[in-house]
């Protein structure tokens, strides 16, 4: 990506995130949702539709609390893949807003299946 475009994206992201986070939003779920809308737009611009649709389209924002944005993927594999291949990009986009913010992709919690046998 050329340097001018990268700087333009960073500035645009910074303004959008600052506007979102500076608002008096006391709801950490709403903050996560609004922040993810902005970040996902930037990720899609940088990586393109195909990569975005494959790895990021179904990511769900959970909460933004204590400067940590938690994002849930559909599968454990997706969380591992994003953390391995795209975490650095996501961190860079988040850090353009504020050095104290961080982001984690997590997989869905496994549901316990009770296996009670009837006699």
Q: What is the pLDDT of residues 8-39, one digit of tens each?
A: 777 777 677 667 666 646 788 888 898 899 89
- Phi–psi pair at 48, nearest 5 degrees: 95, 165
Q: What is the mean pLDDT of the chain?
A: 83
Whether domain 3-106 has CATH 3.30.300.180? yes
pLDDT at 45 over 80: yes
Domain ranges of the chain: 3-106
Nearest-CA neighbor of 100 among 56, 64, 50, 57? 64
Residue 22 confidence (pLDDT): 63
Q: pTM above 0.85? A: no
């Amino acid at each position: 990506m050329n340097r001018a475009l990268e700087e333009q994206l960073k500035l645009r992201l910074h303004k959008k995130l600052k506007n979102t986070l500076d608002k008096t939003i006391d709801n950490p779920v709403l903050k996560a949702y609004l922040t993810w809308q902005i970040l996902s737009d930037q990720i899609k611009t940088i990586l393109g539709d195909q990569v975005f649709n494959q790895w990021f389209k179904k990511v769900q924002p959970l909460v933004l609390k204590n400067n940590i944005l938690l994002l849930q993927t559909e599968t454990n594999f997706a969380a591992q893949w994003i953390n391995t291949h795209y975490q650095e990009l996501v961190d860079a986009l988040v850090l353009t807003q504020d050095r104290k913010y961080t982001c984690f992709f997590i997989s869905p919690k496994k549901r316990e299946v009770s296996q009670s046998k009837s006699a």
